[in-house]
Structure 1
Amino acid sequence: MPKNRYLSFLFAFMLLFLAACGNTETKDAAAKDKKAVEPKAEPIELILATTTSTQDSGLLDVLLPIFEEENNVKVKTIAVGTGQALEMGTKGEADVLLVHAPKSEEEIVASGDAINRKRVMYNDFVLVGPKDNPAGVSGEDIVAAFKKISEVKANFITRGDDSGTHKKDLGIWTSAAITPEGDTYISTGQGMGASLQIANEKSGYILTDRATWLAQEKNLTNLQIVVEGGKDLMNIYHVMQVNPEKHDMVNSTDAEKFVEFMINSKTQEEIEKFGKEEFGQSLFIRYTE
């Protein structure tokens, strides 16, 4: 092949090669640009009705962003007393429930308003009271402590909101065969954090879950734990879906995902380590079935 023809052929080949490379780069750049401008689908809303203790303790601030990111879901949290949360379930006003009143939970499952109930975690209830402890209560016997508080007419603060904690303290009063009443029995109608603040201000005794106590303790300078450790003070949390067959407007797909999220090993590890660094102990203990 003559030299000039060979050079012409080589030059033409190089032009074709460069053009092909340019087209590939252009296509790749276009694909990247398209991917960059494609908007992410709007997250679907999931309504979580839960007790104030999961909110006040800060646990949900850790767990919910993980769930939202993994599932492109926006969780709308409604933190109320467990009784109100369960009522939202019976009305189909929530998609998923995270609560801590086992007897009442069993009732809503039996009625068919909730399904897929799973045990998630536990901590315990503690009785806190004024540092000067006017009722002189101590130890593990919570019923004896309530009797002594009633005898000396010390202030007792109750949430009075049909929450899991309120149900628990009512049950203890029943076990003590006492109907609490009078000026020293103060019902707040508020969540756990706010009720603890009122107990601190009024130098009263109050039953609380340990997680909220630990999270709020630094602000409760007049209070201390006075009774703890009794076998009847365990505080168990369950998660459950609102039944889509009975309430057809609920987001059952993401509610089921949330139930599975709460009991998977990764989430359980997050629950187990929550609070350890700050408080030296877990605020909740994993407790899956």
Structure 2
Amino acid sequence: MAIQRRRFVTAVGSGAVAGLAGCTALGRDDAGDANGPEISGETLTLTTTTSTYHTGLLDELNAPFQDRYGVTVDTVAQGTGAALETARNGDSDVVMVHARSLEDEFIEGGYGVNRRDLMFNDFVVVGATDDPASIAGSGETTSAFEGIAESGSTFVSRGDNSGTHTKELEVWEATGVADEFGEWYTEAGQGMGEVLVQADQQGAYTLADRGTYLSMQSELDLEILVEGPIEDGPEMLMNPYGIVAVNPAVHDTVNYDLAMAYIGYVTSLEAEKIIRNYTSEGEQLFFPEAISEEPNFEQYVPEEWERNE
């Protein structure tokens, strides 16, 4: 059900207006007035990644929104692929995920509208301190992965079509090892927290988002062996997050008004401060990017989409 380009541009344009409306509504003391819909008492279903959930960020981020509007945010933590599939089925109002290629498929299929860049952190390669593959300090992600494969060291994959799993497969594809996985390669089919625990128990390597790793660091005997770009590591490990409303033209049961109010809130100055100040063990977990002096207008549409002049 690919969306027609003219309808797509219309949806993007109306999204800009709706996004501004969401930001404006949050400046009022009441939950609704003559100029906007009454949403008090309603529930917003947010499907999101396990990383935003496990770090505790969403508890901090959602509380002011719920209090101000008198609503409930029902957060469903899934891998990015599963979160988008839930939305495709009309069982979610808004999705917050971190795999742009999967987000683009979702939008191109007509299921999502009004995408916004939200925040970023990065991926890191973690493993046991003895580092049997000798990858510590590697400046290239592909070289580190090749070292793991060549040494036959245990690697635990998310294996769940999540954003982290998507990034991991991109790296393996770049190494040429993707078709040669051996017994050393394990697919957990679990969220990030569970995979980190499994890697810790097995003395294995894994790819993790920095936020989840830092939030669990004190419970693990795993170290960051390959840094991401936040600490001057390879750009390949950048981890951007986006937020997308489910298209009410496809599923008229979704709570689109509340979804757009939520997008307006999480991309506001208030939410930016919460995201920026959220830390674990003194470490900042996420870096807001919704508000920028030089906004990226391509954030609203699939990366490969080209404008007809």
Judge same fold: TM > 0.5, yes or no. Answer: yes
Partner residue, 1:245:
249
Tell me which of 254, 265, 268 is aligned to 2:269.
Answer: 265
Give matches, 1:50-89, under 5 Å. 50-89=48-87
In 2, the alpha carbon distance for the partners of 1:42 and 1:105 equals: 29
In 1, the alpha carbon distance for the partners of 2:139 and 2:104 equals: 28
In 1, the alpha carbon distance for the partners of 2:152 and 2:83 equals: 33
Displacement of 1:61 in angstroms is 1.2
In 2, the alpha carbon distance for the partners of 1:131 and 1:245 equals: 52
- SS of the equivalent of 1:49 reads strand
Partner residue, 1:197:
197
Indicate whether 1:152 and 2:151 are aligned: yes
One-letter amino acid of the structure 2 residue matched with residue 96 of structure 1: V
Give the gaps of 5 or more residues in structure 2: 1-38, 228-232, 296-309
Query: Which runs of structure 1 show a deviation greater than 6 angstroms over 4 or more consecutive aligned residues?
Result: none
Partner residue, 1:279:
281
Number of residue-to-residue matches in the alignment: 246
Give the gaps of 5 or more residues in structure 1: 1-40
Greater share of residues in helix? 1
Displacement of 1:43 in angstroms is 1.9
Indicate whether 1:115 and 2:82 are aligned: no
One-letter amino acid of the structure 2 residue matched with residue 150 of structure 1: A
Displacement of 1:42 in angstroms is 6.8
Partner residue, 2:237:
233
Partner residue, 1:167:
166
One-letter amino acid of the structure 1 residue matched with residue 258 of structure 2: D
Deviating more after overlay: 54-63 vs 177-186: 177-186
Contact 2:46 2:96 in 1 (8 A): yes
In 1, the alpha carbon distance for the partners of 2:145 and 2:40 equals: 51
Q: Which has the larger radius of gyration?
A: 1
Q: Deviations over 1:230-273 (max 9, x none)?
A: 11111000011000011100011110011111100010011001
Partner residue, 1:38:
none
One-letter amino acid of the structure 1 residue matched with residue 93 of structure 2: D
Displacement of 1:122 in angstroms is 0.2
In 2, the alpha carbon distance for the partners of 1:57 and 1:68 equals: 19
- SS of the equivalent of 1:161 reads coil
Deviating more after overlay: 41-50 vs 206-215: 41-50
* TM-score, normalised with respect to structure 2: 0.78
Q: Deviations over 1:77-112 (max 9, x none)?
A: 110000001111211110000000011101111111
* TM-score, normalised with respect to structure 1: 0.83
One-letter amino acid of the structure 2 residue matched with residue 46 of structure 1: L
Partner residue, 2:97:
99
Partner residue, 2:28:
none
User: Alignment RMSD, CA only?
Assistant: 1.2
Q: Deviations over 1:203-243 (max 9, x none)?
A: 1000000000000011112x100001211111000011000
In 2, the alpha carbon distance for the partners of 1:103 and 1:204 equals: 28
In 2, the alpha carbon distance for the partners of 1:73 and 1:98 equals: 18
Partner residue, 2:6:
none
